[in-house]
Amino acid sequence: MTPESWQTPLAVMVLFAVLLMATAMLRRYQAYKATQRARLKALVLHADWMEDLLSRLAGVSLSQSLRTALYDHLATQYLAIARLYPDLPGLGEKVDASRKPVANDTPGMGGGVPSIGDRSEYLRLLGSIDDMIRFLDSRGKTLKQAGAFLRDWYVELHERRAELDTRYLVVEANRLQANGNFRKASQVLGTSLEHLRARGPQTGFVQELYAEVKDMRDRVRIGDSILPVEEPVPGKALDQISNRSSAA
């Protein structure tokens, strides 16, 4: 066979090899782009979720260290999005907003959680605090200053949860007492005590809440008056709440 006779099949083989290489490269590129799209989607969804969660917790008193760590985490998500999609509208403003200094929350007269209008608001806030606790479970160790403050953040969130639950149930007990239903009011206060025992944490703040609620239940049992309906939380606990809101 002459050299000329090899040229055509050799050219076909080379072309076929090039085609295979091009196909493999195209598939790798498509896989890479799919991975990038999936990563971008995950980053955007998480950033939106975190932004919404911070908005839902805006009325809850949290320490400066925790809010700073959360906004730093949010800024990190935005910067990762910017690397994948730099032209996303409004991204620069979001990064700037998440990097602003965070002031330490100052509890109002009602303590570290806002006034609860109804049961749906109570459940919404309770779910938001639980969402933040679960976030710390999954990503807490990655947050800025987690090594120094993670345990304090857990305690802080569980105290806010206990305060929210107590506030709602005390208001409910006062409403029942105002309607003359002392037996049901006592049961609601008993439920509050069970929640404080079960969910804790057993800090001085929670122990103070427990003592206040127990005192109210004992008074209701003998037909004595407890706090007026407009007073949302145990009176003596207000100073303790203010002190513990910046524990971290």
Digits of tens for pLDDT over the chain (248 positions)? Answer: 555 555 666 666 777 677 777 777 777 877 777 888 888 999 999 999 999 999 999 889 999 999 999 999 999 999 999 888 888 788 778 777 777 766 666 554 346 888 787 899 999 999 999 999 999 999 999 999 999 999 999 999 999 999 999 999 999 999 999 898 999 999 999 999 999 999 878 899 999 999 999 999 999 988 877 655 444 444 444 343 334 443 43
Q: Give the Cβ contact number of residue 95 at 10 Å.
A: 17
pLDDT number for residue 246: 37
Angle between helices 182-199 and 204-221 (to 10 degrees): 160
Sign (positive/negative) of CA torsion 119, 121, 127, 130? negative
pLDDT number for residue 3: 57
pLDDT number for residue 72: 92
Alpha-carbon gap, residue 116 to 179, rounded angstroms: 19
Alpha-carbon gap, residue 44 to 163, rounded angstroms: 33
Alpha-carbon gap, residue 236 to 232, rounded angstroms: 12
**Buried/exposed code over 129-147 (b: 16+ C-beta within 10 A; e: otherwise):** beebbebbeeebeebeebe
Asked if 68 and 102 count as a contact pair (C-beta separation under 8 A), the reply is: yes
Give 111's strand partners. Answer: 108
Token reading at 232? 């949302």
Alpha-carbon gap, residue 7 to 4, rounded angstroms: 5
**CA angle, 95 as apex, 90 and 99 as ends, to 5°?**
145
pLDDT number for residue 108: 41
pLDDT number for residue 228: 53
pLDDT number for residue 126: 95
DSSP H helices in 57-145: 64-84, 91-98, 119-139
Contacts 24+ apart (CB under 8 A), 193-198: 193/217, 195/162, 195/165, 195/166, 195/169, 196/162, 196/165, 196/166
Q: Is the pTM of this model over 0.75?
A: yes
